Amino acid sequence: MGDYAVPAYFLLSHIVKNNVIKPKPITAKTIEIGNKYSPEFVCTPFKYTLGTLIEGIENGATILIQAGGGCRYGYYAELQEQIIKDLGYHVQFYNLVVAGTTNLKRIYKIMKEIDPKFSILKAIYYGTLTKQMIKYMDQMDHYIRANIGFETEKGSFETLKQQMLKEFSQVKTHIKLKKLYHKYQKKMRAIKIEKPKDTMKIGIIGELYTIMEPYSNYELEKNLASMNLEIKRYTDVYYLLFQKHKKVKKYLKNSAQYITYQMGADAADNIGRAKELCEEGYDGIIHIKSSFCTPEIGAMPVLSKICADYQVPIIFFSFDSATSEVGIKTRLEAFYDMLEMRKKK
């Protein structure tokens, strides 16, 4: 899922003695495998993750770990495990999240099964280090999104980011990680940009997996950056793991006239975010989701109502393995042209 393979690999490779296999980037082959063995109308991330798991097995993995929750994603593990067994693969399959909850005792027991020499103290140390790494990555990404569309030398931010991730993956201490963060923060801010004062600003909201895995949304953010737009995206791993339980209450309170209850996954968050983006004067909102994502389908009429009330344009994109990339780009360009005409008017 995007760059988060870096901290995931970093954590596991330090807390277990097993050989941890790096997941391959998602490709057309991954999707082909996932499509072939998945139920037709299951939400798209199921197919992407199933394809990734099978590729992991073919790459030598004998132990698979699944973690998810919040919506139907919380039930992926059972079905994916059964499909993998039916295909004749003999692997150990562990699910860290059951019924949307994480039990630390259960996780400890699983880790001891995977590695009998598993150390809780070592896990705590590298767990906190990984948490901080994710926080720094996400903070840097927020800055990049707001400015990458205006870099004078194309590719500067992406090149520097890859260097940063490589150095992050080699740290051993919190002090070293913090120093690296400040080093790259300074380098990022030194990248020359030409950003007009009246630049158009776009907010991206939607289903968490499709937002965070660039392959699943056809590199939407890169396409927006090429149009010289400032981008804001709320959803990241640090938010989901360490902030969501607090912030979702604030979103529900601030958008009480539109929503009363949690709707599952990120649907309630996105309603609150849409209202916030409208109030902050964003020129447009893009809502993206995977096909058959029930919580986001439920949120869409509410999002339309909010944007109509604030007179802020919103466009909806739904992605699956059969989505036309050309069609996405055509709609995106039309949305941009409309926003530009509104801005001039």
The strand pair at 101-102 and 97-98 is best described as antiparallel
Judged on CB neighbours under 10 Å (0-12, 13-18, 19+), 308 is exposed
Specify the pTM.
Answer: 0.93
Structural tokens at position 333:
């360009």
- For the residues of 249-288, what is the DSSP string, one character each? HHHHHHTTTT--S--STTHHHHHHHHHHHHHTT-SEEEEE
Residue among 268, 90, 151 at smallest CA distance from 160: 151
Phi, psi of 55 (to 5 degrees): -65, -35
pLDDT at 321: 77
Going from the first residue of the chain to its last (345 residues), give the mean pLDDT of each consecutive group of 10, the final group possibly shorter. 94 96 88 93 90 95 86 84 96 84 87 95 97 98 97 96 98 98 98 94 95 93 94 95 90 92 89 96 96 92 98 95 86 96 91
DSSP H or E run through 55? helix 44-58
Residue among 232, 238, 242, 289 at smallest CA distance from 266: 289
pLDDT at 127: 97
| Structural Rg of the chain based on CA atoms | 21
Residue among 212, 261, 221 at smallest CA distance from 241: 212
pLDDT at 99: 67
CA distance 35 to 72: 17
CB distance 214 to 2 below 8 Å: yes
pLDDT at 100: 67
CA distance 293 to 125: 36
Within 8 A by CB and 6+ apart from 136, the residues are 168, 177, 181
Residue among 20, 18, 17, 27 at smallest CA distance from 214: 27
CB distance 16 to 33 below 8 Å: no
What does DSSP assign to residue 257?
T
Residue with tokens 């901080």: 132
In which region does residue 91 sit, left (phi positive, over 0), alpha (psi from -120 to 50) or beta (all else)?
A: beta
Structural tokens at position 123:
């896990």
Provide the terminal-to-terminal Cα distance of the chain, rounded to the nearest Å: 40
CA distance 90 to 106: 23
CA distance 88 to 112: 26
CA distance 157 to 143: 10
pLDDT at 229: 96
Structural tokens at position 318:
């739904």
Phi, psi of 193 (to 5 degrees): -130, 155
